[in-house]
Amino acid sequence: MGGSELKKALQREVATRCKGFWSNQEEAVNSRRKEIEREIAGLEAQIQERQEAACQRLQREILARAQRQASNLRLQAESDLAEQLRQLAAKQLVQLYEENRAIYWERLAKEIPQALWQEVLVGERDVELAAKFFSKVPINVSPKLSGGLIALREGGRICIDNSLQRRLDRYWPILLPRLLEELRTMVNDDATP
């Protein structure tokens, strides 16, 4: 074998090995490319899942916040409505009282237990009625009273408050839920087609 044949044999061997090397490298590159593509697809899926989870979490938070705000608005509206209803009830009670002042005042006065009262407080318009009913007791005017009376004894330690305001205070916790329920029913009946 001569030098030229050796050279050609070496060149063929180098060419074959280079081809094999390049083929192996191309396979490795293609394999790595496929791995990278799978990793990218996996990362994209993770990102998508995380985005969806974040969106769902954000939606839940927004919904919860909106529900809390709606609940607070409803409570405030009911509180405002309750206050307006109470003021209206107080006005109506006074109007009813004014229609038959003498009859209502006498009924309220008769509910007061018999005792040695030291003082009776009444509204300005009820002084004459009180003087007839409690002739031996000092009658004093209380500008806060729009109807009814307050009987005092033992320096105010014993107090029977049978004023319109006190009666409304006493019955309001029972009356308010009924009024609100009736209003809800009326609103719901009007809202349905």
Cβ proximity of 165 and 122 under 8 Å: no
The whole-angstrom separation of Cα 184 and Cα 177 is 10
**Cα–chain center distance at 81:** 15
Question: For the residues 52-68, what does the mean pLDDT come to?
Answer: 91
One DSSP character per residue, 122-164 reads: E-GGGHHHHHHHSTTS-EEE-TT-SSEEEEEEGGGTEEEEEEH
Q: For the chain, which residues make up each domain, given as ranges?
A: 1-99, 101-191
> What's the pLDDT score for residue 12?
83
Would the pLDDT of 193 be above 60? no
| Mean pLDDT over each residue of the chain, to the nearest integer | 89
SS3 assignment, position 9:
helix
pLDDT reported for residue 192: 54
Instruction: Report the topology of domain 101-191.
Output: hypothetical protein PF0899 fold (3.30.2320)
pLDDT given for residue 114 in this prediction: 86
DSSP 21-82: HHHHHHHHHHHHHHHHHHHHHHHHHHHHHHHHHHHHHHHHHHHHHHHHHHHHHHHHHHHHHH
At 140, the pLDDT band (50, 70, 90 cuts) reads very high
pLDDT value of position 191: 58
> Is pLDDT at 188 greater than 90 in this prediction?
no
pLDDT of 189 over the 80 cut:
no
Type and span of the H or E element at 118: none
82-139 pLDDT, tens per residue? 999 999 999 999 999 999 999 998 999 999 988 899 999 999 999 999 999 898 999 9
> What is the pLDDT, as a whole number, of residue 78?
87
